[in-house]
Every structure is written in structure tokens, then in C-alpha cells.
Structure 1
Amino acid sequence: MKEFTPDKYLGHKINRISRSIDRYFDRKRCSKTECIPRSQGMMIGYIMDNQGQNIFQKDIEAKFHLSGATVTNMLKSLEKNGYIVRTPMENDARLKRIELTQKALDHENRVRENIMVIEEAMHEGFSKEEFNMMLGFLDRVIDNMEKLNK
């Protein structure tokens, strides 16, 4: 039987990288006064990436594959904590456009700065060519796993 040494398995290494990224974000994403759940942060990122478009609750439900009740609760929390405002549309007051406040924009900019710090750390010690090759290999691993899970 093959010796079980988890540190030699790709899945173990990917899991270690993922946990390390999570630990970094857990340290950096919370201010001394406030911490929003990662799922709400992802919503803020999605809305920021789609500024200039009307984003509604149904768009968030579809993007994140979440139920209406779940998204309603998350949006209520974001609104209560000053990250979003929901503005009724002129032609149909039942539709409420979701807009980010300056507080949310500041938060997302800090998150994106942290992403760049992580990316720079992961690139350290690799040439551009080596890193691009690794990304290609990882894309193939992702494709293989998606095939396995179909």
C-alpha cells in the first residue's frame, strides 16, 4: 500500500494555501469596531464591479445562488450598518436599486489592497514565466476537477 503523506498531495497543498489566504483576510478584514461577514463582503465587491448598472436583489440571488430570504437578511444587515442604500425605481417602486455608500467603497478598496498584497506575496521567488506556467497548470487541475464532479 502507498504511504500516506498528505504534504505530498496537491489537494493538501492547495488547502494550505487557501487556509493561509483566509487567515490573512481574517486578520485584515475586521476593523477594531466592525467586521462584516465574508459573504456580505463578496456582495459589496459584486456591486462595486457593476457600478453604473442597476443591481437589484434578484441579481444578487442569481449571482450567488442564494434564496430570497437569505439575501433579504444580508441586505438588511448591510443597510443597517451603512454599507448600502436601497432606492426605489421611479417606474416601479417595488424594485429597489442597491447602491454602495462611501463606507462600502472604502471597505472594498481596503479589501482589494489586501488582495494585491497577497498576490505579490504569492509571486515572490517566481519569474513571470514560471508563475504563468503554474497558473496554466492550476487551470488544468481546475478543469480536471470540474470534469470529475460532473
Structure 2
Amino acid sequence: MSNTELLGFRIRSVWQQVKRLMNRHLTENDGYGLTGMQFAIVSYLAKESAERDVFQKDLEQKFDIRKSTVTGILNTMERDGLLLRETVPYDARLRKMMLTDKALHAKKNTEQVIDSVESQLSKGLSEEEIATFLTILAKISKNAES
């Protein structure tokens, strides 16, 4: 099999295309400086932190990315005024993530850009095809974990 026929290679290739598309749309449409991953983190924190404290470990698990990667993203977001990290009273080792007003404003204004990208990605696909694709992706993900 050639590299272009290998499943892992194709998944990586498509991911790179999607990431470039997302970041290009965010840049062209004033995505408030958010990358696709930063938008995903802001969206996750906006939802989850309303109900509970969210920590770096939660982000590592949710997005299946390494601690060092999350640390870099969070440091950038903190530097850019999108995020605050605050020690919790019940464990001085833990720092919860809190979004700033700037992050919430950026999220609101970026959602249309993300919706546009999602529409472009799913163009020509039926609901059934999308559901099948997501089922297959879940199986591949599970296989990769084993």
C-alpha cells in the first residue's frame, strides 16, 4: 500500500486540511485571534465552568492532547487576556480555568465563522453519511486507544 492509501495517513492529511481551513477562516473573518483549538477550549470552558471547576487535566482528557501542549495553549491564552487561572481554596496545587470577558466576546463573534466552516465540510453529505462517518471515527478512535 502507498502512503496515500494508509488509513492513519489519510486521517492525518484530512486533519491538517481541516485545521488550515479553520484557521484561515478565523483569520480572514476576524476570529479575534483565536485558533481552532483555542475556540474549542473557550467553548468547552464556557459550558463546563458554569457547572463546575475546570482544570488543565480536564482539557487534556477532553481534547486528548498532551500536558505540554495544553500548557502552551493556556499560556498563550492567558498572555492574550482570554483566560485566568486561579488557585482553588480546597487544593493549592489546582488552578481552575476562568474565561475573561474578552474570551466570551471572541467566542460569540467566532461562532458564525465556525458554523460556516462546518457547513463547508459537510457540503454534499447527507445526515446519514455524516452519522456513518462519525460512527466509523468513533470506532477508529477506540481502536487507537487499545
1:85 CA drift (Å): 0.8
1:98 CA drift (Å): 0.7
**Could you tell me which residue of structure 2 aligns to residue 81 of structure 1?**
80
SS at match of 2:27: coil
SS at match of 1:94: strand
**Could you tell me which residue of structure 2 aligns to residue 3 of structure 1?**
none
Q: Give the counterpart letter for 1:95 in structure 2.
A: L
Higher relative contact order (CA 8 A, sep 6+): 2
1:148 CA drift (Å): 6.8
Larger gyration radius, structure 1 or structure 2: 1
Unaligned runs of 5+ in 1: 1-5
Task: Give the distance between the partners of 1:107 and 1:121, measured in 2 at CA.
Answer: 21
2:25 and 2:117 in contact (8 A); partners too: no
1:101 CA drift (Å): 0.7
Unaligned runs of 5+ in 2: none
Match of 1:132 among 127, 135, 139: 127
Task: Give the distance between the partners of 1:143 and 1:72, measured in 2 at CA.
Answer: 26
Output the TM-score relative to the length of structure 1. 0.64
Change (3 A) 1:34 1:114: closer
Task: Give the distance between the partners of 1:132 and 1:33, measured in 2 at CA.
Answer: 28
Identity score, percent: 23
How many equivalent pairs are there? Answer: 138
Change (3 A) 1:140 1:113: same
